[in-house]
Amino acid sequence: MKLIETLKNIWKIEDLRKRLVTTFLFIVIYRFGCHVVLPGINPNDLEAMRKFTDSGLMQLLDMFSGGAFGQASIFALGIMPYITASIVIQLLGMVLPSFQKMQREGESGRMKLNQYTRYLTVIILIVQAPAYLLNLQYQVRAAGGQAEMSWFMMVFLSIVLTAGAMMIMWLGEKITDKGIGNGISIIILVGILARFPGAVVQEFTNRLNTSGGLVMFLVEIIVLFLVTAGAVMLTQGTRKVPVQYAKRIVGNKQYGGARQYIPLKVNAANVMPIIFAQALMFIPITLAGFGQNQDASGIAGWVSRNLGDMNGWWYNVIYFIMIVLFTYFYTAITVRPTQMAEEMKKNSGFIPGIKPGKKTAEYLDSIMSRITLPGSLFLGIVAILPAFARYFGINQQFAQFFGGTSLLITVGVVLDTLQQIETHLMMHHYDGLMKSGKIKGRSR
């Protein structure tokens, strides 16, 4: 069989084998840490916390943390503080000349920006850790448990939570360097997939108890596959722009003269707009006390009632708009028509019918603007699909896989990882993973 032969080829490549084993070991460490409860917390008193994360925005945060949030684990804060810090640093790179300079300095500038991102992550954790502990204390006490924390205990556990989140960040960086795929994305993917089997079993059980439930469950699975296929198409869709290269004679050799194509992606920003928007949606609910003020009046109560409800109208409208805006923003900082036009001009290339230089840059920018609009709208629609799934009686956990962050991250990360594996296979003259052609990851 083709699959067995491919697995054998993967195992024959020593470097690829080591990277896969290293990735697996780091994932095991991460999953083990997700089940280590904070010191001084009785696991039997966490039932209220788990119920608290069964719905709403907290469920998504618990999913990103692989269930660690609801289990009061040392990894409870997950990777989202680091992602939030990365967003802020990238935004600063758009407005501050000093950060723009570092972005142009290559590897040294990237290292400086990474260092600033780590510092900002610690600052965010210093705010989030006490907020998490206060909410934990509130939820356990409301359920009749004991979770009284002294000032010293609060400081100690905040340090533990901060160290746990930094440990996750370190694991992600090590997976990127020593393993396969993007480490941060792999950690998010593992957290998402850890909840998938339980969500499927729960939905199947619920449907069995209703009339015609089995048929509905099969329909849901079919719809899930169709939505997943749509997400794959969104990830891989491109618009090819023809580029004609003029003939050049250097010495006795002739270069150029052939027509090539620039693949401009319909969704050049990939899943980053959803991650950006999701991270920002966590901020107001965090400041509002993780939703414990839902009955309160004022701004905190409004935020908890509206922005804390993932199925609510306000949440999905704001979420959709933010995704569209972030799609344009991230496309602008990753796809640079001016730089592309300059590279074509240096290599004696031009787009037929378009003058080289400024006119080419304007043409590429206009194409990107046109194809980004439908891409951003489709991305926003996919992101809010779980809210629509809830209206058809699908349970909250299973509904998260009908679109939204979980589906797009899963598709994007899996394609990226498979693309890297295929690259290793092709470098060692083995067949790729697909007969129909190369896998197109998000980086293509």
Q: Could you read off the pLDDT of 391-434 as tens digits, one per residue?
A: 777 877 787 777 666 777 788 788 888 888 888 777 766 665 55
pLDDT at site 162: 92
What integer is the mean pLDDT of 126-139?
Answer: 82
Q: How far apart are CA 33 and CA 78, in angstroms?
A: 11
Last residue of a domain, one of 156, 186, 216: 186
Last residue of a domain, one of 367, 386, 402: 402
Whether 335 is covered by a domain: the verdict is yes
Whether 20 is covered by a domain: the verdict is yes
pLDDT at site 422: 81
Last residue of a domain, one of 159, 186, 213: 186
Q: How far apart are CA 56 and CA 360, in angstroms?
A: 47
Answer whether 115's CB lies under 8 Å from 59's CB. no
Does 107 share its domain with 254? Answer: no
Please report, to the nearest 10 degrees, the dihedral formed by the alpha carbons of residues 279, 281, 285, 287 taken in order. 70
Whether 427 is covered by a domain: the verdict is no
What integer is the mean pLDDT of 264-288?
Answer: 72
Does 218 share its domain with 323? Answer: yes
Does 172 share its domain with 233? Answer: no
pLDDT at site 444: 42
The whole domain housing 216 covers 195-402
The rounded mean pLDDT for the chain is 77
Does 92 share its domain with 209? Answer: no
Does 174 share its domain with 246? Answer: no
What integer is the mean pLDDT of 118-132?
Answer: 89
pLDDT at site 443: 47
> Does residue 119 surpass a pLDDT of 50?
yes
Task: Please report, for the chain, how many H helices and E strands are present, in that order.
Answer: 18, 5
Which residues are CB-contacts of 145 (< 8 A; sequence separation ≥ 6)? 42, 44, 45, 48
Q: Which residue has the tokens 């749509």?
A: 230
pLDDT at site 123: 92
CATH code of the domain in which 54 resides: 1.10.3370.10
Between the two ends of the chain, the Cα-to-Cα distance in Å is 29
Does 179 share its domain with 201? Answer: no
> Does residue 114 surpass a pLDDT of 80?
yes
What integer is the mean pLDDT of 170-196?
Answer: 85
pLDDT at site 92: 81
Whether 437 is covered by a domain: the verdict is no
Q: CB-based burial of residue 209 (10 Å sphere; 0-12 exposed, 13-18 middle, 19+ buried)?
A: exposed
What integer is the mean pLDDT of 148-160?
Answer: 85
Q: How far apart are CA 408 and CA 78, in angstroms?
A: 19
Does 96 share its domain with 137? Answer: yes
Indicate the SS3 state at residue 241: strand
Does 130 share its domain with 219? Answer: no
What integer is the mean pLDDT of 101-117?
Answer: 82
Q: How far apart are CA 358 and CA 369, in angstroms?
A: 16
What integer is the mean pLDDT of 212-216?
Answer: 81
Count CA within 13 A, CB hemisphere, residue 111. Answer: 3
Whether 134 is covered by a domain: the verdict is yes
Does 270 share its domain with 332? Answer: yes
Please give the full DSSP string across 361-422, using - where no structure is assigned: HHHHHHHHHHHHHHHHHHHHHHHHHHHHHHHTT--HHHHGGGSHHHHHHHHHHHHHHHHHHH
> Does residue 372 surpass a pLDDT of 70?
yes
pLDDT at site 1: 63
Residue bearing the bigger pLDDT, 175 or 254: 175
DSSP secondary structure code for residue 259 in this structure: E
Give residue 291's pLDDT band: very low, low, confident or very high (50, 70, 90).
very low
pLDDT at site 308: 62
Answer whether 68's CB lies under 8 Å from 78's CB. yes
Whether 391 is covered by a domain: the verdict is yes
Does 311 share its domain with 365? Answer: yes
What are φ and ψ of residue 146, in 5° steps? Answer: -110, 120
Does 154 share its domain with 232? Answer: no
Assessment of whether the complete model's pTM goes beyond 0.85: no
Does 138 share its domain with 229? Answer: no
Whether 410 is covered by a domain: the verdict is no
> Does residue 319 surpass a pLDDT of 70?
yes
Ranges assigned E (strand) in 164-322: 238-245, 248-250, 253-255, 259-265
Q: CB-based burial of residue 4 (10 Å sphere; 0-12 exposed, 13-18 middle, 19+ buried)?
A: exposed
Whether 367 is covered by a domain: the verdict is yes
Tokens of 51: 């119920």
For 8-60, the pLDDT digits (tens) are 777 887 888 888 899 999 999 998 988 888 887 777 767 666 665 555 556 66
Residue bearing the bigger pLDDT, 318 or 406: 318
Inter-CA distances, 307 with 56, 315, 442, Å: 9, 5, 30
Q: How far apart are CA 416 and CA 422, in angstroms?
A: 10
The structural domain count of the chain equals 2
